[in-house]
Amino acid sequence: MSWLSIPTWWLENTIGTRFFTWRKGEQVGSDDFGNRYFREKGGERRWVLFNGNIEASKIPALWHAWIHHTIDQPPSPDELAGADWEQPHEANLSGTPAAYRAPGNLAAPGRRQSSGSDYEPWQPA
CB count, 10 Å around CB of 75? 20
Instruction: Specify the pLDDT at position 100.
Output: 86
- DSSP per-residue letters across the chain: --GGGTT-TTTS--HHHHHHHHHHEEEEEE-TT--EEEEETTS--EEEE-SSS--GGGS-HHHHHHHTTSSSSPPPHHHHH--TTPPPP----TTSTTS---TT-TTSSSPPPPP-TT-------
What is the value of pTM for the model shown?
0.65
pLDDT for the residue 6:
52
Mean pLDDT of 41-57: 85
- Residue spans per domain, the chain: 3-81
Using only C-alpha atoms, the chain has a radius of gyration, in whole angstroms, of: 22
- pLDDT, one tens digit per residue, over 52-111 is 878 888 888 899 999 999 999 999 888 888 778 888 777 788 888 888 888 777 777 776
